[in-house]
Amino acid sequence: MASFPRTRIDWTMVNLARTWGIALALLWVLEARVFGAPVPPDPAPLPPDPPNLVQSLPGTPSPHWVWVNDIVFTHMASGQALLVDGDSGQFLGLLGSTGFSFERIVLVRGGSLIFSPEIYFSRGTRGVRTDVVTVYDAAHLKPLEEIVIPPKRSSNFPMMANAEVTDDDRFLLIYNFTPAQSVTVVDTQARKFVGEIETAGCGLVYPTGPRSFFSICADGALLDVRLDDTGHATSRQRTDRMFDVGTDPVTERAVRLGATWLFVSFGGTMYPINITPNGLKLAATWSLLAPTETAQGWRPGGVQQLAVHAGLNRLYSIMHQGPIETHKDPGKEVWVYDLARRVRIQRIAMKSTAGSIQVTRDTKPLLFAAFNESSTLDVYNAATGNHLRSIDNIGTTPTLLVTP
């Protein structure tokens, strides 16, 4: 996990300023009453909330909603996911207490259910561990049931590939690390644990179809896994080495556009992995950076550093300047690329530091940006790069952004 510089706060001066502020306010009220100055009236009391009031979200999610997933670094025993409307800036709802070392929720098509891999301990931060997939009612954000799974779910730094669904939403795939590596398979229709697939030396999950996925291996190869209709593995084939992990390793934070997974290296080289009937194939690589930009130390970075939009055929990447060890650092710019021509077409100067980005899928897309050392969510026009609004007090340490 990367470390980011923090501002040192002199709490003695802060507390002193607060004390003086309160004293001056009390002195003003006392003088007002002694010398007859008008004192503003007390505000009218708020009406009491009606009992048993239950609000419902619309049955169809807006394409401009975003789920802000929060691991809550300051209290990792209880994560949360916050739902925000990007158009109005309104906070819509909360899934609170989503367990220890929370990664993210997983949405399925139709929008009626939410699946959340969660970890709990019988004594809060110790005791017997129980791993579950909690199924939530998306309209009321209410838990419907829990699917118990093996207590092996990886508790690594949050990334999208920790849990994904197959292309038809039938099977939820969850990455395990004990440190033995494997994938838990959950049937989302029958709502039951199916089994576990060993992926020795290979981690995370990248779906490639309704009954297939791959994991990325330590030597730069990929493990191509095929499933049957019950969710059990029918084949596991290791590809040739796709990435040079010794010279320019890739980050695990890939994004998918149609039949292509896009992996970017620490140095900014794009590795497109094509999903073909004959297996996984590496297409021609290309660089996000011109030679002069490489010399200036520009590189991609962040927690969720890439985003794509299929309709615009664009790639978005958080950029910063720094040596290779800063490959997880956030940035103050997002560079936009035309994927057909493989050229940069725009540089967006961000209002705030960005560590995570996401783009909505509709014809008028929004670009969301967040940083895990800030509780502000910034919203941009994804086509023009114009800043639209900033929404404050969204979580504690926001990490992954998920859109319907």
Whole-angstrom Cα distance, residue 171 to residue 191? 9
Q: With bands split at pLDDT 50, 70 and 90, how would you rate the model's confidence at 41? A: confident
Please give the structure tokens belonging to residue 353: 């530091």
- CA-CA-CA-CA torsion sign (55, 61, 65, 70): positive
At position 126, the amino acid (one-letter code) is: R
Domain layout of the chain by residue ranges: 247-404
Max intra-chain CA distance, the chain: 89
pLDDT tens by residue, 352-369: 999 999 999 999 999 999
Whole-number average pLDDT of the chain: 92
Quick check: 90 and 82 in contact, CB under 8 A? no
The residue assigned the tokens 């891999």 is 117
pLDDT tens by residue, 97-154: 899 999 999 999 888 999 999 999 999 889 999 999 999 999 999 999 999 999 999 9
Using CA atoms, how far residue 271 sits from 73, 210, 256, 268, 296, in Å, is 32, 23, 12, 10, 22
Q: What is the pTM of this model?
A: 0.87
Is CATH 2.130.10.10 the right assignment for the domain spanning 247-404? Answer: yes
Quick check: 287 and 383 in contact, CB under 8 A? no
The residue assigned the tokens 């039951």 is 192
